[in-house]
Each structure stands twice: as structure tokens, then as C-alpha cells.
Chains A and B, each alone.
Chain A
């Protein structure tokens, strides 16, 4: 289809009928300012082909001019090589006419609409136009772009997609079902969801038949397992019961019981025989033991008698020997005592000689001591005299010093006051006027001061007013300068002078020099006093009283030696006397030791004698005891004979008992055999006892098993294994059936998806290929990605997909237009050329891009008609194409 002309009357802003005429096959451009009515032209064109002339739709009413009226739209359309004029008037004066320009065919009213529909049907089928006027969807939506619509990626609405798809499929001669396929697909998805929970899942929804079957199967399997376990337990109980009963029958029959009892009886008999033999042997052994005791007693009685007799003889021998020993010991003691007396006498003589030596030595020592005391007394008396003399001198000096008023401190104070006074006076003198007396020759002495004539050249420095009298002339008063400083200075000097005078008066001197002389004399006295004090301290460090006490003590000591002749004893006598005493002491000690040895000998002799005497007494007592026990000597032999006979009798009795014991012991069963008998007995008893226990166990187990089996049988809960097995089989088959059904539905779904994907790919691929040449002008090797609805979703450049909602406004606008050109090219290539109408496009394109877009439009215009309406005169100045103009239309 091509648009050749469009005419409007009573439409929108147009106050007078207008028209664009003479549209070319290729690129047509209408440039005009804003509010020229370009968008109204596009809307009018859409209304003409979309809306029946009877339509009251809002889009139709919106075309009414502001002043009111009935919109009249007319277009010349070239369809399949024939030029048709389509004219519709809407609202108040509605009408429709469709006629060939050559007048060959003409349709009016509904016929016109119907024929238009037939003419455009193939085209509308692929551009989205329904042609009934009831559709709100944009007619030619894929290729007609309204103002601002170029910003949006073209997204064919559902019906358009379906029709476009159908168209494409028809091109590949493989028409795939539309609504019916979707309905089937929905049924598949619905049933699959009921079975698996939905796409890609395998979890049956809660409450679904499959889920119930799976749960039932799980429950049935559990019940079957439990029943099998129960059946197995039951089987084992039955077998165990049979085994127990068989064992009871086999092990506890009367015959078996008799065998066990017989075995016990035999074993007990054997044991009784063994025990009887052992008891007889024990009795014989007891008798033998008694005879042994009696025999031993007889033997011992005889032995005791013979031993006592031997002991008596032995004691008599001992007594005789002890009597001799006592005599010898008595003589030795007597001799020892004589030795003691001799030694004692010698010791006493020596002791007396020692005492004499000691007296001589002590007398000499007293003489020496008296001499020493007297010598010391004399020295002390001399020292005492010196001390007393120094003490007296010290007392005298203390008194003299105390009477002296001159002290070092006072002299020092006077010296300090004199210094200060000199300073004050110096300062006053410096401040005082200097008056020098100079006489003229002949006038000397005529000047008097206070009656004293002054000498020639005498200089006065009065610090107080003075009056000089010049005899015969008059007086001259001289006064020192006033002022408080001078007065203060003078006051200070006066104070200092008074203090000095007072200090000198206290020291009873008149001058500082006298005070110094008196101080020097004082220091000499102090030195003498110190010397006296040092003498006392050296000779009587403890004081005079201590020295006098020491002297009194010595005097008393001397008085003790009053009887002794004075004078010094001879030297060397003391050593001789001491040596004599020492020798005498050694000799005395020797004699003392001899005495001790003699006494020890006496004690030893006496002790031996006493021991012998005591032993002799004991032997005597034993002899008496033995004789008392043995009786008279004549009875002793009779007793020996009696005991000898008794022993012989007991020996014979013991031999008889021994023979008897040997005879009985031979009947006793040996230990090994005895252990065997005991073991046999124990085994027999254990077998019988074990049998009793086992019988009880078996009967208890049998009772338990019978009870358990009976309870199970009669409880009515007997698991029906066959029923459960069948139930599991049935449910397993049901679950398997569901699984197979799910697999079948999944296969169906996947097959549907595969077919649809391939189908979509088949129709999208040529569309993308159609847009490719246009994209090259702007994006080089870039290409597009299309979604399931054939909408452009991304620009792919250098292998990277850029979603359209993130690219720039300009890029998005350009892609939107290029994609539409692609659709139109695809349709044109397949015999369904439709004009591309662009209302105010390329708002965001830069200079380079706009050049590329012009190139794309130029190329598109070689495939199909293109109509561009724009207000951008300068920007579109360079694009080649047929320029259109809005011209007045005189309705023909």
C-alpha cells in the first residue's frame, strides 16, 4: 500500500480544508513549524483506516475542530497497483465512499467499509489493524509512529504478534496453531501442575491425587513391612513353640526322667560307701592316737623318775665343790683388806706433807701482796694532792671570771656599734658644709667658735648650726642644710652613739680599746682555768670523791697487813714453793689410786664369796626338794620297776592299735577315685537339677508363646499380608502411573517449548535480518535481540547485549525507528509493503547519528514508501527526498 494524498476538512486545528498531495514512492518529507497540524494529519490517517465512519470513539470525536463540525478525511491509497480514493465523514454527517480513481468501482457506506477491510486485510493482518473499528489497538502500529512514540521500542501487542507470527509462519509454509495450541498448552501445564507442582518441579501439590497416592503407598509399605515383621515374628514363634514342645517331649519323658534319677542314686550309693570307709578309718586312727598318747605318758613317767635321781646325785657333787670354793674366796678377801690399810697410811702421811708445803707457799704470797698494796697507796696519795691543788685553782679562776663585765659578745657588740657610728658620722660629715678658716696675715685667732679661736687653715664641717665670731667684726652663722634625710641620719647617729656609750659603761670601760684589753685578760684566765680542769680530769676521771674513796679503801687494805714487816720479799722463793706443792699433790694422787685399787680387790673378793655362798644355798634347797619327791632311797628302785612294767604294757597296746588302723585304712578309697565319685555325684545332681530348670524354662516359654500366638490370633489384628502386598502393588502401580503421566506431560511440555522456540526463532530471525542493513548505518556490526513478543529488547554490540532501557534516549529513539523500518522492510520483501509514517522523529539524534538515520531512511525508501513529518527544518535540510507541502484543499 502507498499513500498518495491526504485531505482534511473540519479536522482539528485546520480552519480551512488542507491537503498533502503527490506523495512519492520513496521518501516524503513534510517540514513545518510547531502547531502546523502534522500530528493531526497522522491521527486523521489512522482514523481513516482504523475507524468506521459510524464510529463515535473518543479518537474520532477528538478530531472535531474547536468550532465544531463533522471531520471529513480523504486519502488516495494505492493498493496492489490500483489507486483508490477513500473518503469518510464522521459524526454529524457521516458517510463513507471507496472508489477507484478511474471510476471503475465505487462503494458507499458499509459496503465501502467492508471492501476496505478486504483490500487491507492482508496488510492489516501483519500490522495489527483489525479493521472493524472496535479495536483500541494502533493500526499499522508497527510502522506508523506517532509523536513521541519513537522513544519507545516497538512492542507489538499480542494480537499483532500472533498475526505477525502467523504471517511469518506462513512465509515458511509451516503454519503453527495459535489459540488452540495455547489452549492445549495451558491444559498440559495445568495437568502437569496438578501432578508435579508446576514447571521444573516434581513435588505433587498437597491434596493432589498423586500426592495422596504417594502417601498412601508409603503408608501401605510401612504397614506391609510391619505386617511382614509381624508375620515373621509369628512364624518364628510358631517354630519356636514347636521346638520347645519337641524339646520338652524329648528331654522330659518318663524314661529320661528315670535315667536322671537312677544316675543320682548310683552316685549317692558310691559316695556313701566311700564315706563309711573313711569314717571307720577315722575311728581307728583316733584309737591309735589315744594308745600313742598313753604309751608316751608311761615312757615319760619312767624318764622323769630316772632324771630326778640323776639330778639328785649331780646336786650333791655340786654342793661339795661349792664348799671348797667358799673357803678359798674367804682367804683372798682377808688378804685384800690388809693391803687397804697399808695404802691408807701411806696416803695420809703424804697428805700431811702437802699441807705443809702449801702453808709455806701461802705465807710468801701474803708478803708479796702487802708490798704491792702499800706501793699503790703511796702513788694514790700523790695523785690526790695534785687533784686537790688543780681544783682549788679552777675555783679561783671561776670566781674571777664571773666578776669580769667584759665579755667577747659585749666587745663585739661595742665594736659593731662603733662601726655603725663611724658610718653615720661619715655620711653626716659628707653632707655638712665645709668651712675653712684662712686668716689674713695678722688676723690669726680672731675667729672663734664657741669662744675657741680657730686655727688658720682649720676646716670645720658642722652638722649643727654654728656661729663663728670674728672678733671685732661680727659673727658668721653656719647652718647645715635642712631636709628630713639629714635629720634622720643625725637621729640615727645619736642613737648609735648612745648605744655605744651604754655598752662601754656596762663593761666599766671608757673606750673600745680598754674593752679589748680587758677581753684579752679574760681570755688568759679562761685558758688557765681550762688547764686546771684538764689536770683534774686526767688524774681523777671519776671525780675527786671517787679518788678519795679509792684512797680510803687502799688505806683499809694496808691496815690488814699491819703485822707484816714492811719491805719487798725475796725474789724466786714463790716458784720453789709452788713446785714443791705440785710434786706433793702428784704423789698424793698416786697413793689415792693405790688405795682405790686395794678397795676394789676387796669388793671383788667379797662378791665372789657371796655368789658361791648363794649357789651353795640353792643347790642345798634343790637337794632337799629332790629327796622329798623321790622319797626314801629304798622306795626309789621299786618305783623304777613299776614304771618300767607299765611302759612295756602300753607299747604292746599301741602296736595292736596300729595293726587295726592299717587294716581299716586299706579299705578307704583313694583320693582320685573319691574325687571321681564326688564328680559323678555332682554331675548326676546337676543333670537332674538342670533338667528341672530347663523344664521350667521350656514350660514358661511355651506358655508365653501360646499366649502370644493366641492373643494375636484372637485379637483380630492379624495382618493380612496378601491384602497388604496387593495394596502396595496396586498403589505402586498407581504411583508409577502418575509418574509416567507426569513424564508424559513433561515430555509434552518440553516438546511444545521446543517447537515454539524453533518457531519463534524462525520468524524472528528474518525480522532481525531485515533490520540489520539499517542498524549498520548507526551501530556498525551491532544487531538486535528480540523478545518472545518480537519486541526489541537489547542492542548487541561487540558481542555484548545492552538492554534498551539502559541505553541513551537518542540510541533508544534510533533503535525504535530502525526496528520499525526492519518490520516494514520484511513485510515489503514479502509482498506486503506498507508506508512507514514517522511523526516528528529523531528529536535526540546528534549530527553524526542523524546523518546515519537519513541514510537508513533513504535506504528504506527504496523498499517502501516513507513519510516523515518534522518541525526541524534545518536538521532535515540535508536529507534527500520528496518535499511535501500543506496546501489548501478545495473539495471536489
Chain B
């Protein structure tokens, strides 16, 4: 009766990355397809013949057929594995919708099964998969409620497959679908495989989100995994193992800058990544206060750091500037000094917008003063 399978979800194949340059966006998009092959490799490694995909296999219902074909082709080539695909809120099972096209494109695929109608299916001897596909972007009720009364042979291993948010778990996912946290107990499920929450997380003794196999945003919920689940019996606690599947790593980091040297800690971390830094995306949230000279140097330092990573972006909304003695000396006295003094006074105001403008004016003044000084020297 022991049954081992891979639990994964939220592939969102076809997702675009509009905030990136075209070349990088294309790479990130391709990585989501490649993740399927990595999942297959993990399944083989772990001895799982079935892969349960808990919704959002595709990013949109309107993806071109070619994208669908590519995904199906990858799965078809893994003939030793059976892929159980569940429609989620991104790719709901509608009459005439995406899954109808999948059937039309894929033909009779023995190893790719689209569970686009709710019901129990015996996927292996004594193992029944209770699939709860979504038929729209939002469901009015709990799509797993029917599992409580779903008939399966006595002693069968019942595995639930669903997509949505778990009640009481907070607003975790994207889908406006609420699933009872105690569904396994109510429905006699040995395991409830969920999708929608892009991070890997255990919700209950028998309830897990696998998360997305390939991260697509800066979140701190441990994306980039699949779960290898081993069920010894219907009553035995599931044995769940996380396996890494991601190519790219997205990380966010808050950096307090009290001097230019503080950015060096980040540089050290990037350097420590070695070659992996080329598949690393980093978002810095800069805060603190620098002198005008330091702020000017920071920009150059960040440009150098960006060259080491796949992608670097930063938010400097909370990073402020203040003219120190050296700055004031460089700016000098006279009219420029007086102007700088007045801008400092404005920058000290509570009004955030006025402060931002004044600080920028101060930085500009610093740059102009330095430029004028260089001009005079030359």
C-alpha cells in the first residue's frame, strides 16, 4: 500500500517578466519550463512514479498552443512518470477552455492526465486521487467539500489534490478559494496536496503546499522546491521531503547605510556566491543616511555590483543624504554655500516629498559644485 509521489504546483508556465529587459525576461520564462525536467529528475531519484501538480500549471488560459505543446512534450518524454495535472485559478477548467485544448493538442497521452472534472480516480492499485479542479478564477465554496462523501473502496489510499487558500491560514495565496484546513480528517485523506501558495509550507499533519518549483518574485517563503511524499498507509503520517528544483534565486535584502562601507557587506555576500551569482536576483532596500560624497560613490558601487549578478535592483526611498564637513568644504561658501545651507534646512522638514526634492537638489548642487571646481582647476 506504500505509495511515493512528487507533490508540486504553481508552475505557471508561460509567465512573462515585464519588469526585466527582454533577454533576461526570456531566460526567466524558459527556466519555468526547464523546472519540469528537474522535477522529473528528482522523482526518478526518489523513486516516485507519479507527479501530482496542484494547479496553475499554466500562467494564463490564453497561452498559445505552442507553449502548451512544449510543456506537454517535456512531460510526454518522461514516459516513466505519470503526471496528474489539476486546473487552478490561472488555468481553470472551463468548457471550451485551456484543458480542452490540452486534450486536443496532447492526444491520448497515457502518462499525462488532466483532472479537469472533480472526482476520485484510481491512479495506482488501491490509490485513489480525489481531484478538485477549479472551474473559474474564483470559487464560491470549498472545492474539496465533496471529498468528505466521495466513495472509494474500503482501505483505499485517498490523496486529495486541490488549489486555493486554506481557511484560517491567512490570505496566503492568489486564488479566491477557501479550503478547510481539516479536510484530510473529514474526508479520510492520507494527504492533501495543495497549490497556490508559492512557498513550500506544511499547513497540517497531512496538508502541504509544495510551492513553485521555480521562484518568480522576491518572497521569503522558501520557493524553488518540490515535495517528495511517501505514504506508508492511509493512516500513517506522511513522510515529506523537500527537494530543490530552482535554477534562479530571488532574494531581498534590507541594507542600513550609515556609511559607504556598509554596502561592502553585500558585496562580500555576492562574492561568496561565486558562479551562482549569475543566477541570482537581488533586491536591496536601502535605508540610512550618507554624505553627499558617499551617495555619489554609492551609485558607482551599485553599478559594479549589478554586473556580478543576474539582476540587481534597489529602492533608495529611505536613503537620505546629509552634507558633512567635507561636503560643505567642497561646496564652499558664498552663494553656493548659502544655497546649500538653505537646501539642508528644507531637507530637514517633515514633508517627505519636500525632503526628497531638497535632498536631490543638494546632491545636484554637490555634483555641480564639484564639476565647477574641476572646470576651474582645469
Binding site for B on A (CB under 8 A): 169, 174-181, 183-185, 187-188, 191, 231, 234, 238-239, 241-246, 249, 702, 705-706, 709, 712-714, 716, 718, 720-727, 729-730, 740-741, 743-745, 747-748, 751-752, 754-756, 759
Closest residue on chain A to residue B333 by CB atoms: A175
A176, A188, A712: the one within 8 Å of B333 (CB): A176
Provide the bound-state CA to CA distance between A238 and B87, in Å: 15
A744 to B355, CA, bound (A): 10
Min C-beta distance of B251 to chain A, whole Å:
19
Other-chain contact of B375, A174, A183, A241, A249 (Cβ < 8 Å): A183
Within 8 A of A (CB), among B313-351: 332-339, 342-343, 346
Q: Which residues of A contact B65 (CB under 8 A)?
A: 713-714
Quick one: CB contact mask for B335-378 with A, threshold 8 Å, 1 for yes?
11111001100100000000011101101110011011101100
Contacts A180-B372, A723-B16 given; indicate if A175 touches B94 (C-beta within 8 A). no
Instruction: Report B244 CB to chain A, min CB distance, Å.
Output: 26
B281 beta carbon closer than 8 Å to chain A: no
Closest to A741 in B: B360
Q: Least Cβ distance of A166 to chain B in Å? A: 9
Task: Kindly state the separation between the CA atoms of A705 and B94 in the bound complex, as whole angstroms.
Answer: 14
Residue B113 at the A interface, CB < 8 A? no
Expressed in whole angstroms, the minimum distance between the Cβ of A762 and any Cβ of chain B is 11
Contacts of B363 in A (CB 8 A): 744
What's the Cα separation between A174 and B341 when bound, in Å?
Answer: 13
- Chain A residues contacting B17 (CB-CB under 8 Å) are 722-723, 726
Q: Choose, from B56-64, B142-150, B177-185, the stretch at the interface.
A: B56-64
In the complex, residue of chain A having the shortest beta-carbon distance to the beta carbon of B22 = A723
- A191 — which chain B residues lie within 8 A by C-beta? 364
Is the CB–CB distance between B368 and A740 below 8 Å?
A: no
A184-B368, A246-B95, A706-B96 known; A747+B15 contact, CB < 8 A: no
> Given A180-B373, A727-B18, A241–B97 Cβ distance below 8 Å?
yes
Q: Enumerate 29 A-B pairs (CB-CB under 8 Å) in ascending A order.
A: A175-B334, A180-B334, A180-B336, A180-B369, A181-B334, A183-B376, A185-B335, A187-B372, A238-B61, A238-B62, A238-B97, A241-B94, A241-B95, A241-B97, A242-B95, A242-B96, A242-B97, A712-B62, A718-B62, A722-B15, A723-B16, A726-B20, A727-B18, A744-B360, A744-B361, A745-B361, A751-B342, A751-B361, A752-B335
Cβ-based interface call for B25 (8 A): yes
Q: Which residues of B lie under 8 Å from residue A714 when comparing CB positions?
A: 64-65
Contacting residues of chain B (42-88) with chain A, CB-CB under 8 angstroms: 61-65
Contact call A748/B361, Cβ cutoff below 8 A: yes
Query: Nearest B residue to A720 by beta-carbon distance?
Result: B16
Closest beta carbon of chain B to A453's beta carbon, Å:
171
Check B16–A752 contact: CB distance below 8 A: no
**Chain A residues with CB under 8 A of B94:** 238-239, 241-242
**Complexed CA–CA distance, A385 and B365 (Å):** 166
A241 with B96, Cβ < 8 A, contacts A723-B16, A748-B361, A755-B335 known: yes
Known: A176-B333, A238-B97, A744-B357. A187 touches B371 (CB 8 A): yes
Specify which chain A residues have a CB less than 8 angstroms from the CB of B373 in the assembled complex. Answer: 180
Measured CB to CB, the closest approach of chain B to A3, in angstroms, equals: 35
Q: Which residues of B contact A705 (CB under 8 A)?
A: 96
Which chain B positions have C-beta within 8 A of A754?
342
Measured CB to CB, the closest approach of chain A to B110, in angstroms, equals: 26
B197 vs chain A, min Cβ distance (A): 20
**With a CB–CB cut-off of 8 A, which chain A residues contact B135?**
242
When the two chains form the complex, which single residue of A242, A243, A724, A747 contacts B357, counting CB atoms closer than 8 Å?
A747
Q: Do residues B361 and A713 form an inter-chain contact, with CB atoms below 8 A?
A: no
Secondary structure at the A interface, as helix, strand, loop or mixed, is helix
- The smallest C-beta distance from B323 to any residue of chain A, in angstroms, reads 14
The yes or no answer to B19 lying at the interface (CB within 8 A) is yes
Give Cα A325–Cα B64 distance, bound, in whole angstroms. Answer: 125
Known A-B contacts A184-B372, A755-B342; the reply to A176 vs B334 at CB < 8 A is yes
Which of B95, B97, B335, B368 is in CB contact (< 8 Å) with A759?
B335
A-B complex: 9 closest residue pairs judged by Cβ atoms: A177-B334, A723-B18, A726-B18, A245-B95, A242-B94, A176-B334, A726-B19, A181-B335, A744-B360
User: Which residues of chain A are within 8 angstroms of B96 by Cβ–Cβ distance?
Assistant: 238, 241-242, 244-245, 702, 705-706
Task: Assess the A176–B335 pair: CB atoms within 8 A.
Answer: yes
B335 touches A747 (CB 8 A): no
Query: Which residues of B (221-270) have their CB < 8 Å from a CB of A?
Result: none
Known: A175-B334, A183-B368, A745-B364. 13 other contacts (CB 8 A): A175-B333, A180-B336, A180-B373, A184-B372, A185-B335, A239-B94, A239-B136, A243-B95, A713-B65, A720-B18, A724-B18, A740-B356, A741-B360
Do A177 and B336 have beta carbons less than 8 Å apart?
yes
Collect the chain B residues with CB atoms within 8 Å of residue A748's CB.
339, 343, 361, 364-365
> Do A730 and B62 form a contact, CB below 8 Å, given A175-B334, A242-B96?
no
B62 x A234 contact (CB < 8 A): yes
B316 CB, nearest partner CB in chain A, Å: 11
A716 cross-chain contacts in B, Cβ below 8 A = 64
Interface centre among B62, B97, B369 (most CB of A within 10 A): B62
Tell me the bound Cα distance from A870 to B97 in angstroms. Answer: 108
Contacts of B18 in A (CB 8 A): 720-727
Bound-state Cα–Cα, A702 to B97, Å? 11
Q: Give the complex CA separation of A243 and B152 in angstroms.
A: 32
Which partner residue on chain A sits nearest B95 by CB separation?
A245
Q: Is the CB of A713 within 8 A of B342?
A: no
Chain A min CB distance to B234 (Å) = 36
* B binding-site residues for A, Cβ under 8 Å: 15-20, 25, 61-65, 94-97, 135-136, 332-339, 342-343, 346, 356-358, 360-361, 363-365, 368-369, 371-373, 375-376
Q: Which residues of B contact A722 (CB under 8 A)?
A: 15-18
Partner of A744 from B25, B339, B364, B371 at Cβ < 8 Å: B364
Q: Are A755 and B338 in contact (CB under 8 A)?
A: yes
Please give the distance in Å from A699's CB to the nearest CB on chain B: 12
Identity of the chain B residue whose Cβ is nearest the Cβ of A726 in the assembled complex: B18
Residues of B within 8 A of A730 (CB): 19
Q: Considering the chains assembled together, what is the distance between the CA atoms of A759 and B333 in angstroms?
A: 13
How far, in angstroms, from A747 to B364 measured CA to CA in the complex? Answer: 11
Q: How far is the CB of B43 from chain A (nearest CB, A)?
A: 30
| CA distance in complex: A752, B372 (Å) | 15
B370: shortest Cβ distance to chain A, in Å?
10
* B368 contact set on A, CB distance < 8 A: 183-184, 187-188
- Nearest residue in A to B356 (C-beta to C-beta)? A740
Query: Taking the nearest CB of chain A, how far is it from the CB of B348, in angstroms?
Result: 14
Residues of chain A within 8 A (CB-CB) of B365 are 184, 188, 748
Q: Which residues of B contact A718 (CB under 8 A)?
A: 62-64
> B357, A740: Cβ atoms under 8 Å?
yes
With A and B bound together, what is the CA distance between A180 and B97 in angstroms?
70
Contact B332 A180 (CB under 8 A): yes
Residues of A within 8 A of B334 (CB): 169, 175-178, 180-181
Contact B369 A184 (CB under 8 A): yes
- Please report the C-alpha to C-alpha distance between residue A755 and residue B337 in the assembled complex, in whole angstroms: 10
Residue among A185, A720, A723, A747 making CB contact with B358, cutoff 8 Å: A747
A743 CB contact (under 8 Å) in B20, B342, B357:
B357
Which residues of the partner chain A approach B136 to less than 8 Å between Cβ atoms? 239
- Complex Cα distance, B357 from A743, in Å, reads 6
Alpha-carbon distance A754/B96, docked complex (angstroms): 70
Q: Which residues of A contact B332 (CB under 8 A)?
A: 177, 180
Closest partner residue, chain A, to B361 (CB atom): A744
Q: How far is the CB of B91 from chain A (nearest CB, A)?
A: 11
**Cβ-closest chain A residue relative to B369:** A184
The CA of A177 and the CA of B335, in the complex, are separated in Å by: 5
Smallest CB separation, B318 vs chain A (Å)? 15
B375 touching A713 by the CB < 8 A rule? no
Q: How many angstroms between the C-alpha atoms of A727 and B61 in the bound complex?
A: 22
| Inter-chain contact A177/B97, CB cutoff 8 Å | no
When chains A and B are docked, how far (Å) is the Cα of A42 from the Cα of B355? Answer: 59
Q: What is the chain B residue whose CB lies nearest that of A718?
A: B62
Chain B: minimal CB distance from A83 (Å)? 38
| Distance, CA A243 to CA B334, complexed state (A) | 76
* Minimum Cβ distance to chain B for residue A726 (Å): 3
